[in-house]
Each structure stands twice: as structure tokens, then as C-alpha cells.
Amino acid sequence: MKINEVNQIYTKLLNNNITINGWILTVRNQKDVVFIKLNDGSNSQGIQLVVNEKLDNLDKLNIGTSISATGVLIESPAKGQLFELNVKSIKIYGLTNLDDYPLAKGKLPLDYLRNYLHLRTRTSTFGSVFRIKSAISSATHDFFKKKNYLYINPNIITINECEGGAGVFQITENDISELKEKHDWLKDHFNKPAYLTVSSQLQLEALACSLGAVYTTNKSFRSEHSSTSKHLSEFEHLEIEDIFINLDELMQIGEDYIKYVGNYLLENSLDDINNLDKFVSKGLLERINIIIKSDFKRLKYDDAIELLKTVKLSKAVIYGDDLSSEMENYLTEHFKSPVFVYNWPLAIKSFYMKQSENNELLCENFDLLMPYKIGELIGGSIREDNLDKMTKVMNERNINLEPLQFYLDLRKYGTVPHGGFGLGLDRMTMMFTGMESIKDVVAFPVYYQHCCY
């Protein structure tokens, strides 16, 4: 049985024989008894095995060894646990050598464990992180299903560079060592240049303009030469698109979604939250409760800039610039809540964002800034549905119209008001686990100068 299954129905299993499989976390040999902490990855606590029998090969049991233990489940006389397994037999599957087992040294730093991505999920910390991440995925699908969104994953190999190709991975079937300076793309797999997508937004818009509300959790890829705690070259990307929607409604969906996930975790992942709160993410439970109880502030970009000009910051506040991390942190701390900053200058935002009706220099968009140094979590906008306005902006920015003809067609044939947003699920996992590096919430992170698995 899985250990979490035993937790759920242990009162029915007391005084019955059961079999538990897993990996040994600790072994304590005393005079007439051996205590073993076993975990199978299904929960944060594991289960205590008590071996009173003179079993064969007990001396071979080390940390990391995989076993199958059969015995009688009994109430535990010790504090801190409700039950334990009185073991009658043990089958060994895989032994470890403590001399070279990387996890045999007790409490290990997170940066040390990044050297052993294939083993670190055996630790209590990373078991909790990835169970919470799985719960976030379940909550995401649950939320959008209740909202009647269709789940569709568009292609991640694309001919679109979005806005000029910055940060895009180009792909080829050819041996890179044989490529000449001017590669003949007509002889390559797609007969033209192709890329790993930076976003599924454009394809989702096409689907939304036929099917209504849609979303994806596709992977996206960014070729950024950055090794910060918040950036990866490959990440899981929640993106939604909806029709006949306005900016206020779109922001409300983002707020409702985050609160829904937070509540879902409190109901389904409390043991793992408490485990992280106790050891590596102090205050995590309080953080989640604050987020789900907050009224998310809505602040125009112009007003944000004016507010920031009244405080002393390390970087000058200039209208028309993006917000630095320091500025984002100040806004969330000032309002003591997440903050939607909306109606940004169009000049520093994407070509597809709808121009504001009252001021064509602004666009109907938002960035959602989260506290606890998370910063921007969601970026969204109403999409420009006027063909002439969109074409004008694209021409001004020297964007090639040819590969985006399908996108322009949406404005020619039965266009409708529509909008959407994108959210990095890995960054959201950071927020709901308290982990300070995105590298610690992705099973096998791929980032600048690092791709090891």
C-alpha cells in the first residue's frame, strides 16, 4: 500500500497485516530492536517500521536502500505519530553504499542537492515541493474546467519569432557541425526556419475565436542569457484566451484563479505545506492565507509611476520604463497585497495589445505583481481586434507580416473582443512553496549554460 493511503484509513487497518514499499530515510539500531523510517514519496512523514524479529540481512539496511516490509499495523506508543508497522519480514530490492551515497550526510543545502537532481526528490523537502506542484496542476485544471474553458495544447514548434526573434531557440535536423554560415533552410526539415515557441498565445487566440474560452499548460522556451533565481530556458506556461471579455473581467479571472489554487492547497496539501513551513520555508502557511484573503489592488501605470517617484529607490523612476524588481516589491509592500498595474504605455508593450480608447499611447493590459519578492506573476491584455491599428503598429516595429498572416486573418473574418494572460506555473510554485530559486521547483531545470539530463 501507499503510505498516504494508510494515513487515510489507518483506523480500519489497525492490527492487520499490510505491506509497504519504499526507500529508507533513517535506520536506528538498538539492542533488541531496529527503527526504520521509510518513505515511498506519497507523503511528507513516511512511516516508522519497528523490527523486533531476528531477520536476515538487517545489518545491510542503509539510508537509501529500497525494501518491501510486511507486518502488523499497530497504534504507536511514541509521540508524533499515530501508528507504526511491527515488521515480520523484509525484502531488499536495492542496496546503497553509504561511502558514496550523496544523501547520506543528514541535512543538506539546496545548492548541494542541485547536483543530484535525479535523487533530491527522495528528501522530505523536495518530496513536498513536487507534491505541491502536482496539486497546483490539479487545481489549475479544476478551476478552468469549472469555468468551461477547453484544454488544448497548440504546437511548440513554430515559424513565428513573435517580436523579432529575441530570445528564440532555432531548430534544425542537421548536424550543427555541418552547418555553413548561410544555411539552406529549403533543405531542412520544414523547408524554412523554425523555432521553439516562446508562447502559445497566437495559436490560442485562433482557437478562442472559434471555440470560445481555451487554455494550455504548454512548455515555452526563452533563449535568455540569464541565470537569475526566476528564469529558465524551458518553463511550464499557463496561458488562457477568452472572447467577449474586458480588462476588468480578465484581471478578476487572474485573481480568482490564484485564490482558488491557494485554497485548494490548504485543503489538499496541508501536510506538505506544514512540512516546508517547519523546515525550509518559515511562514509559508501564513503567506498562503494572506494571499487568498487579500483584496488585489488595481493601480494604473501612471499612478504607479507617480507613487514610486515619491520614494527613494536605487534606480531612477522614468515614465515609459518597465518596473524594476525593487519597484515591484515596493508596490506590493506599500499596499500590503498583490497589485495589478494596468494601462501601460503601448510603446513598451507587445504589438498585439489593444490601444486604449481614450488614449492611443496606452494599451489595455496588466501585470500582476505578487509580494514576497515574487514580482510579476501574470501578464495579460485585451488583444487588438482592429486590423488597421494592428498592421500600423507591426509596420512601425518592422515585424514581418508574412508568417503572421493567420493572426491578421482573425481581424479580417468575424473579429470579436478577446483577451488573455500568461502565467509561469514554476514561478507560482515558488510562491506557494516558499522556495527562493526557480531551479528548486522544476524537476530537471534547463537554464543558461546548464542542460545536464
Q: What is the pLDDT of residue 230?
A: 85
Flag whether pLDDT at 166 surpasses 80.
Answer: no
Q: What is the pLDDT of residue 25?
A: 94
For residues 97 and 132, membership in a common domain is answered with no
Give the percent of the chain with pLDDT over 90.
Answer: 86
Phi, psi at residue 404, to the nearest 5°?
A: -105, 15
For residues 12 and 134, membership in a common domain is answered with no
For residues 87 and 133, membership in a common domain is answered with no
Locate 85 and state its grid cell.
508497522
pLDDT tens figures, 228-271: 888 899 999 999 999 999 999 999 999 999 999 999 999 999 99
Q: What is the pLDDT of residue 304?
A: 98
CATH assignment at residue 406 = 3.30.930.10
Q: What pTM was estimated for this model as a whole? A: 0.95
- pLDDT confidence of 163, banded at 50, 70, 90? low
Length of the chain: 453
Could you tell me which residues come within 8 angstroms of residue 202 by beta carbon, excluding any fewer than 6 positions away? 160, 162, 352, 404, 407
For residues 363 and 297, membership in a common domain is answered with yes
Rounded CA-CA distance 331/317 in Å is 13
Name the one residue in this structure whose C-alpha cell is 509497504.
Answer: 20
CB atoms within 10 A of CB 156: 17
Q: What is the pLDDT of residue 318?
A: 96
**In a 10 Å sphere around its CB, with 0-12 CB exposed, 13-18 middle and 19+ buried, how is residue 358 labelled?**
exposed
Mean pLDDT for the stretch of residues 52-66: 91
Mean pLDDT for the stretch of residues 144-170: 86
Specify if 263 maps to a domain: yes
Q: What is the pLDDT of residue 182?
A: 77
Q: Which domain holds residue 139?
A: 121-150+249-439
For residues 403 and 307, membership in a common domain is answered with yes
Q: What is the pLDDT of residue 413?
A: 96
For residues 258 and 342, membership in a common domain is answered with yes
Name the one residue in this structure whose C-alpha cell is 503567506.
Answer: 287
Domain count across the chain: 2
Cα radius of gyration rounded to whole Å, the chain: 26
Residue of 116, 198, 213 lying closest to 155 (CA atoms) = 198
Flag whether pLDDT at 330 surpasses 80.
Answer: yes
Specify if 301 maps to a domain: yes
Beta bridge partners of residue 70, listed in sequence order = 19, 89
Flag whether pLDDT at 181 surpasses 80.
Answer: no
Rounded CA-CA distance 63/104 in Å is 6
CB atoms within 10 A of CB 47: 26
Specify if 326 maps to a domain: yes
Q: What is the pLDDT of residue 448?
A: 92
For residues 125 and 262, membership in a common domain is answered with yes
pLDDT tens figures, 277-308: 999 999 999 999 999 999 999 999 999 999 99
Specify if 157 maps to a domain: no
Q: What is the pLDDT of residue 285?
A: 98
For residues 371 and 431, membership in a common domain is answered with yes
Amino acid identity at 26: T
Mean pLDDT of the chain: 94
DSSP per-residue letters across 74-113: EE-SSTT-SEEEEEEEEEEEE---TTT-TT-SSS--HHHH
